[in-house]
Structures are given as C-alpha cells and as structure tokens.
Amino acid sequence: MKKDDLITLDITDMGTDGEGIGKYEGFTFFVKDAVDGDRVEAKIMKMKKNYGYARLMQVLKPSPVRREPGCPHARPCGGCQLQAMDYQAQLDLKARKIQSHLIRIGGFADMPKPEIMGMENPWRYRNKAQFPFGTDREGRTVTGFYAARSHQIIPCTDCLLGVEENQMVLEKVLAHMEQYQIPAYDERSGKGLVRHVLIRKGFATGELMVCLILNGRTIKALDRLSASLQEIPGMTGITINVNTDNTNVIMGRELLLVWGRGYITDRIGNVTYQISPLSFYQVNPVQTQKLYETALEYADLKGTESVWDLYCGIGTISLFLAQKAGQVYGVEIVPEAIEDARANARLNGISNAEFFVGKAEEVLPKKYKEEGIHADVIVVDPPRKGCDPAALATIVRMQPKRIVYISCDSATLARDLKYLCQEGYEVRKVKGCDMFAFTMHVETVVMLSHKKTTA
C-alpha cells in the first residue's frame, strides 16, 4: 500500500475527531466524512507504521445511520464532524465514547452506557459565534469558518448552528468593508484591519451584541456601520475589541464601547447573567439549563450546605447552586470573570455567594490549611485538561459528602474519577449532555459520594 492507492473499507467505528475507522489488510485507516456502517472507496493520503489516513472518494454502500447533511458547507468546514450521521446515532456514539473512557482509563469495568440528554431541535443552538475575515484568491473579502486543520476560510454567512441574525450582521459588515475599501486582516503579513466579528444573542431576552475585533482602534465611517447594525432587531450593544498583536489569539484585552451597552443579559432558569464580549458563557443555553439542573439535582442541597464551586467562570453554576445552598464559594483564575460573577450575584439579589480570584489548586489548599474551611459539596467544572492534582488532593482531604464533576473531556474526567475513587469516593450517577450537536464534543456530569456517607 502506498499514497494515492484506492482501497475499499468497511467503516466499523468512529475516531475521536469524528473520522470513520476501517481496516484494510490489517492496517487501520481513518477516513474523514465516513460514517460507522458505511462501505467506502477511499484514497490513501498518508501511511504510518500500523495505520494510515485516507480521503473519502465515494460511498459504495451507505450506513443505515447516514443522512444528507443539512448544511452545504458541512464537508469542507471544520465546524461540524457528524452532520452526515443521524442525530440519535450521534447521541449513541457520544454515550459509547463516555462509557469507553470510563472503562479504559478510569477502570470502571461495569460502567453502563450513560443516558445522553439530547436536543429536540439540534439546529440554531449557538448563542455565540466568532467569524474570521480574510481575502480569497480573487481578492474578495470573505468571512465564514476555517476548513479543518487549516486557516483557509470557507465562505459562509449563515451557519445553521448559529442564530439567524448572524447572517444579517455579517452581510452588513461585508457591504460596509466593500463600500469603504476596508481591508481584512492578513495574519501572514500582520496588515489589514478587520480580524473577526463576534456575535452574541441572549436566547431568553432576545438581546444582540456585535463586537468588531480590529487590528486598530476604529474603522472608517464607524457611525454609518453602527447605524446600519442598529437596524437589526434586538441590537443592544456594539463594541470594538482592539487586537494589534501578531497572534492567532482572537480577542485582545481592550474593549471600546461604540453604541448601547457593553453587555447583553440572558437567563438560565431563574438566574439572570450579564455577558460581555470577553465573558465565558456556555454557547448552548437550552442544554445548559438541563446540565445545571442535573448538577443541582446531583448536589442534593437542602438549604444549609457549604458548597465550593471550582473553575466557576462568571458564576453561572455558583449562582444556580446558591438558590438551594446555605453558602457558595466560587474560585476562578480570570479576574474579569470574578468581577462578572460578583456583578451577577448583585443583579440577582444573591447574598450567599462569595468569589475568589486565583488558581483552584492554590486557593483551595490555602483556605483549607490556613482557615480550616469545610465543604459539604464540591462542584468542579475544569478545562479540558481536567482538575489539577493539588486541587484533587485537597478535595480528598476535605472529604465533602458529595462531589459533582462537570466535564467537557470524558478522558480527563475518567482519569480524575479513578483517583477520587481510590481515595474513598464512589461514582453514583453519570449522565451526558449534548451541548454541541453535530460535533464529537459532549459534556458529562457525574455525582460521587464518600463511602463513609453511603455506608
């Protein structure tokens, strides 16, 4: 076998990035856009010692779960990996992914396949989108999404995962750039002005925000662009984010208010949140409410408990828990997020939530050692790398009755659960939540209790 050879594969599994997996003469091949159950013809693109990568050329026999993608850009765009798969099959795939990680990495041999909380309508669910701007080969300004594993922009002003207002905003910005000959940013040369446009919408409030990320502090005829954007129903605020660094980091640190407010508001359940362009806020509010309600159920609060929320962000989970807890303490490394959390507590009249700036692995051990703090329940929602070992060790020493672990990566979740269960805890409940339909990402929420509590 060599590069450019055509092979026939039966796809029997799916990879972590949504590729179909099949075997040919003992070699495992990964085929983007192939679906579990397909028989495909594929062209070998790269060979390793025991595996290879191949490009889908044609589907010889479609899988029973293969579907026509709803978006015409689904195959070249890097945003979705699973649009060619039936939605219920996607949920089953994500359940098997969680189960596999818990068995293989966590050592939970008897772990059943968890329930996945799916969406009634898995389209138009994203309340936030960041669109890069660039220039195509003909010199035209384009915006859309990057192709998989590249910075080539696939032109698209209406992503079917985003809100319909995105298209209105992008077409107005593109028309303005064309009229006034405003160049898009070129990351190779560092020249050009418009880098990205960030759009956020409050699903519960209908409020809309536009943030222009510029390689500079203003844009030609800004007043006219602002007036045009204000015509879009729900427009609440227009800002400029200044990013003059030669970097692929999207947002700079300086925000300039152009018109309206510098934030929008949204609600999850009974809690209202203020969200700025720099705030971390879950992008799927419908599923976020399901996720947080499950976390609240797993916390099993009676009204007197002391709860610590590690990696708390702008206090989304903290304030949700504060409705039923005695006292909630949130810890987050980003100072601006803590400012948002405190503001959100005031906004909701919540007085039993206190927030600390710092690394969870530093704040929690220090508070425990110096102040002898205790916790009845600890909630963690760490980044993809999972919890820091020092934070986990302190959690074990504090011996809360229950731990609620929310994870965006079931592999690092499994690793951390293995440690906690070796230190006196047991997994009581596991549930998945499909926050990102048509992608391989899945959130997991787990409830652990101390064996002394359940004995």
Residues marked as catalytic: 408
Closest CA to 1 of 34, 39, 49, 55: 49
Separation between Cα atoms, residue 262 and residue 305, nearest integer Å = 35
CA distances to 5, 82, 83, 388 from 39, rounded to whole Å, are 17, 17, 18, 43
* 338 phi/psi in degrees, rounded to 5: -65, -40
Contact present, 161 and 80 (Cβ < 8 Å): yes
DSSP tag of 362? H
Which positions ≥6 away from 202 have C-beta within 8 Å?
127, 208, 264, 265, 266, 267, 275
State the Cα–Cα distance between residues 16 and 20, nearest whole angstrom.
10
Burial 151-164, CB ≥16 within 10 A → b, else e: eebbebbebbbbbe
Measured in whole angstroms, the distance separating CA 343 from the mean position of its chain's CA atoms is 23
Element (H, E) at 125: none
* CB count in 10 Å sphere of residue 128: 20
